[in-house]
Structure 1
């Protein structure tokens, strides 16, 4: 059996619901290993943003998919978490609660997922890739060398988000955040295509009572054991 150059590049997938720590851990792991990083959620958030700016209804599957196929995007590298769309830095626009809800809507559309599938796989470049999302280990990179599924209680995830927003001077109610998280969890886990769930061979890590450094150690050790 022979393998393509791409297939020889190791991939670590980190899936899980919003607020479980995927983004933070994925960036830290990528930085520590010197690997590339894919924020798949940002692709869906950007797709929704592009649709809104083009006055396209978010449930217009074919029109939204056409936008997704030609997105002009660029991610920052290393610890730079900036996201660029058509030459504009849009991190602030796509990190809002509304952007997250919009992303959940377009992510449920099969044509949109199809349009973004190869774009996500193209991030697989030497020396390795850390892919953060909801279906990285089940659909996008089913042969990943290590698959992690991060989770945490809805209450803990709402509390984390509340603290983030308050620190930014944004006035929110934790009850509203909790309701939004539960609604998004339901949409993501019940959608017909690529629902949120751990891969059969994923390692599940509940981060509710763990520090960032503790989770990072767990993930790094699993990668080193497997590569």
Structure 2
């Protein structure tokens, strides 16, 4: 019997699965498919930070203004709705597509690096994940948000493959960028994500690398 069928059998407890990895590593696609297979809730934590970044940009606030960003975050309502496909709701408005813009991508690492912003988002993520029966992806799920997750995975992929995926995503949102630029931006984001003081991107010791 497959793992999926075993987990879905009546009487077996639902678990929490954490999937981490850098941008374009395939973690979101994998997490979404696993959640669908198991009948679990899918939580895209990166979408929450993107929504917050979109809010900053819509408010004409400088993303480098940490104090202003944190204050705005405290007044912002972000929720994830699973209705077949995940929808991201920002202050009552569906921003699922808008958060994938190039401008949001350029600024999300900075906004998500602020410790107070992460604390607010982590609290929301823990509240959702506490119900179990969830597949959660991000960059610090297995290390910070849910260090006691039942299963942890860390996704890796070649930089060119990651860039190709990211280029396709941008293209679907109307932005055409040369692959060289996408590679450069991914490398820059990897550096920012892995060197930030709060919740840096890293593989949990007990995570399975995929």
Q: Same fold (TM over 0.5)?
A: yes
- TM-superposed deviation, 1:15: 0.3
**Which residue does the alignment assign to 2:115?**
110
Query: For the residues of structure 2 that align with 1:201 and 1:20, how far apart are their CA atoms?
Result: 19
Tell me whether 1:187 sits opposite 2:209 in the alignment.
no
Query: For the residues of structure 1 that align with 2:124 and 2:95, how far apart are their CA atoms?
Result: 19
* Runs (5+) with no aligned partner, structure 1: 1-7, 206-227
* Number of residue pairs aligned between Structure 1 and Structure 2: 198
Contact 2:19 2:136 in 1 (8 A): yes
SS at match of 2:153: strand
1:13-32 matched pairs, under 5 angstroms: 13-32=18-37
Q: Structure 1 residues 179 and 28 mapped into 2: Cα distance closer, same or farther (>3 Å)?
A: same
Tell me whether 1:138 sits opposite 2:143 in the alignment.
yes
Deviation sequence 1:170-208 (CA, Å, 0-9, x none): 422111111110110010011111110100111111xxx
Contact 1:35 1:126 in 2 (8 A): no
- TM-superposed deviation, 1:165: 3.6
Could you state the TM-score of these two structures normalised by the residue count of structure 1? 0.80
**Which residue does the alignment assign to 2:205?**
200
Query: For the residues of structure 2 that align with 1:46 and 1:166, how far apart are their CA atoms?
Result: 20
Tell me whether 1:150 sits opposite 2:155 in the alignment.
yes
Tell me whether 1:33 sits opposite 2:65 in the alignment.
no
Contact 2:101 2:170 in 1 (8 A): no
- TM-superposed deviation, 1:9: 5.9
SS at match of 1:159: helix
- TM-superposed deviation, 1:127: 4.9
**Which residue does the alignment assign to 2:9?**
none
Question: Which of 173, 178, 181 is 1:176 aligned to?
Answer: 181
- TM-superposed deviation, 1:41: 0.6
* Runs (5+) with no aligned partner, structure 2: 1-12
Query: For the residues of structure 2 that align with 1:164 and 1:183, how far apart are their CA atoms?
Result: 18
